[in-house]
A and B are shown apart, each in its own frame.
Chain A
């Protein structure tokens, strides 16, 4: 590497090392590992092969962490320079595209590798605990590290193609979802289609698609980790997954290099996207923005946050597509299952779940976008309270989510017995209260963290909920186990539900205050 590249590398490394999130991720990972050690230590007689159990948890968490951190870390490599409008200055220094790409991305990869290596000494304990060999540990680390490099390449490419970090992270996330679930959804669908004689196993489509899906399956770190964690694994640490992931990393890097000039030639003034919201002069103006509603913030959030009428239509189409898919699958299975019951059950789960996660995503994005485009102070001088402003925004988002409510009602109408049964279970166990309390808590958490962490607030919120719930349940089980003298305690689940509900509910108000305070402070900055 020439000296200018080193300067860029040093600068990126320095900037990354000053970020609070870098340390938060490391602390988070090590805290989880320590917890796994404590959990195994606390229950030595209940678990067979404790080392393998511990190691499974460690590898799973590492994969989750690196995916979570990697998406935000790598997909902002170039977009952050575009957003700060400093990419042009970098190019003026005479650095070649490959130098910029290397200087910027190697430091991030370095950070990701350091994150994983921070956990390495702990994982060696797995050998001491028993049930796992050193070869398995090395193989698992090769898998995770090669996956991190692949993620680095993917993120870099997305950050070259797109102008904004958020969009780049979204694209990287979608591509990663495709990578992980293409084989898992595609292979069974392909086989089902072949069994139903929709496609021929000797036809061109099957011949072309099947090897691709099998290749994706073999290249997936999940497949590889499952193999490695089998007792008695004695394969080479460098398997097909490692080679393919490194190949993909190199491929994406080369693609980024080749397209660098093309995508960065024009310096665009960053501006928020309007999406598919048509103007009043457009041919499709009937799908466009109408006059502002008396509740103006709600109007703004409905059209420019939740996608407006086109967004509502897209949600309806998505759910209609799911209905069709369920009907087809049930019909082709030819069992005794009632199609309307199956559709109803699917809608009762999918509609609220998708709607809720979309709402959380909006909560996370809404304020961070206002901050990013410096518009928060504009709406904060409107004659309304901060709380009023937040709830108006929420109402706008909810207005966009009405298709989910509508389809949920259809689901209930199609399968009323299943609904009543589920409600009975949820109310009897008290889980309904826990679900509601956690849902409200998570909504607040996502909104608040989006104002605390630039870009990664939503990801941190997801991570905190995942870890908080996992750790909470495990810690609670340990305490109950210890208090009951090592015997099974029948009321454990109910106590856990009550404990979780009370905890989540009691945290909502402080979070509400923190969110309001944060909004007011940020608007004044």
Chain B
């Protein structure tokens, strides 16, 4: 096993009867990272997650979790993962405590250890006051929190979360993201599928984009969002609008476009990385008398990368 490699998927294939779902998905998840998993509906995200969770058997390729084969060593894999499906599935006739106690016992924990860990996961998910409530009386957001608490109850090193924020209100989503950040700080590796790209951008270190059962991108979030090739966009903000600076920039070798953003002292400057450096650009602005407030590289939004990498339409 490679050091730090928690999930290793190579050329994964799967078909539901005659309908192929995965055509060779390849991805790697490293230790103690948050790895986003995105793709359009029907791309194969849930199928991949279910295979990683040992609920489905891969029909081709290699799938290893912590270096263990998910088919042959499924019991070992199950002990080290926590899987949260994309729907709320719970024993709704149980109370919160009974539910967590049941799962903790199912993972072989003694009563004393169970008490401690239940208290901890309830505190982490902010549900301490609800342990004697029936699950069926919980709201959707609370049920999602409990589902996350259940996933954590046996202290797994890897969390497989399928759309954990679906159906949550904005506050619920933000709180969930905070919990996930806290879990990363605790040393967990999180593999999360979501449609909410803005939140993934802020949360994830790595990302995999799949479409129609194929991996389109798998790597760091930074590399995905950086502009490809030599052309870079900068956002230059001055103290106030300054015509001479705009003019000097246009004349600078390697600058292909300067656009003033409406009613603001900000400019979008498109440059060729090979022809002009950031320092040269800054020197040019200062020489023209412009007062610089900020200069930053304009990264692409995940939405754009997603749209570029995936095909339109719904797979048949």
Contacts from A to B (Cβ < 8 Å): 269, 271-274, 277, 279-281, 289, 291-294, 296-297, 299-300, 304, 373-375, 377-385, 523-524
Contacts and interface: CB of A to CB of B under 8 A. Distances in A.
Interface string B85-113: 10101111111011001111111100100
B175 to A, nearest CB: 23
B199 interface: no
A374 B55 contact: no
Contacts of A274: 93-94, 134
A297 B106 contact: yes
Contact of B104 (A271, A280, A292, A375): A292
Contact of A373 (B55, B78, B89): B89
Interface residues of B, number: 36
A296 B54 CA distance: 20
A373 B107 contact: no
Given A299-B102, A373-B89, A279 B55 contact: no
Contacts of A273: 93
B91 A304 contact: yes
A291 B75 contact: no
Contacts of B92: 271-272, 373
B27 interface: no
A376 B315 CA distance: 28
Contacts of B63: none
B248 interface: no
A377 B90 contact: no
B247 interface: no
Given A281-B132, A383-B78, A296 B55 contact: no
Given A272-B92, A293-B105, 5 more contacts: A279-B95, A292-B114, A374-B85, A374-B89, A380-B55
B102 A300 contact: yes
9 contacts: A271-B136, A273-B93, A279-B134, A292-B101, A292-B102, A299-B102, A378-B90, A382-B78, A382-B106
A379 B90 CA distance: 10
A425 B209 CA distance: 70
Contact of A383 (B55, B79, B105): B79
B149 interface: no
A292 B105 contact: yes
Contact of B75 (A277, A281, A377, A385): A385
A381 B81 contact: yes
B22 interface: no
B204 to A, nearest CB: 24
B101 A291 contact: yes
Contact of B132 (A271, A272, A280): A280
A36 B79 CA distance: 57
Interface of B: 50, 53-56, 75-76, 78-79, 81, 83, 85, 87, 89-95, 97-98, 101-108, 111, 114, 132, 134, 136, 150
A190 to B, nearest CB: 41
Contacts of B81: 381
B7 to A, nearest CB: 16
Contact of A272 (B76, B93, B95, B105): B93
Contacts of A373: 89-92
A296 B75 contact: no
B227 to A, nearest CB: 40
A271 B101 CA distance: 20
Nearest 10 A/B pairs, CB to CB: A292-B105, A296-B106, A296-B105, A271-B136, A374-B89, A274-B93, A524-B56, A383-B78, A271-B92, A524-B55
A381 B150 CA distance: 12
Contacts of A280: 95, 97-98, 132
A273 B92 CA distance: 8
B91 A300 contact: yes
B90 A304 contact: no
Nearest to A272: B93
Nearest to B147: A378
Nearest to B89: A374
Contacts of A380: 55
Contacts of B101: 291-292
Contacts of B134: 274, 279
A387 to B, nearest CB: 12
A375 B91 contact: yes
Contacts of B150: 378
Contacts of A291: 101, 105, 111, 114
A269 B134 CA distance: 14
B93 A271 contact: yes
Contacts of A272: 91-93
B105 A294 contact: yes
Contacts of B102: 292, 296, 299-300
A289 B92 CA distance: 15
B298 to A, nearest CB: 43
A399 to B, nearest CB: 15
A472 B98 CA distance: 47
Contacts of B114: 291-292
Nearest to B90: A375
A82 to B, nearest CB: 15
Contacts of A375: 89-91
Contacts of B79: 383
B78 A381 contact: yes
Given A279-B132, A294-B105, A377 B85 contact: yes
A524 B89 CA distance: 13
A248 B83 CA distance: 52
Given A296-B105, A524-B55, A289 B98 contact: yes
A296 B132 CA distance: 19
B162 to A, nearest CB: 11
B55 A523 contact: yes
Contacts of B97: 280
A385 to B, nearest CB: 7
Contacts of B93: 271-274, 277, 304
A385 B78 CA distance: 11
A272 to B, nearest CB: 5
A524 B50 contact: yes
A166 B95 CA distance: 23
Nearest to A376: B89
A464 B92 CA distance: 33
Given A294-B105, A373-B91, A381 B98 contact: no
Given A289-B98, A292-B98, A374-B87, A381 B105 contact: no
Nearest to B53: A381
B47 to A, nearest CB: 9
A13 B108 CA distance: 51
A280 to B, nearest CB: 7
Contacts of B95: 279-280
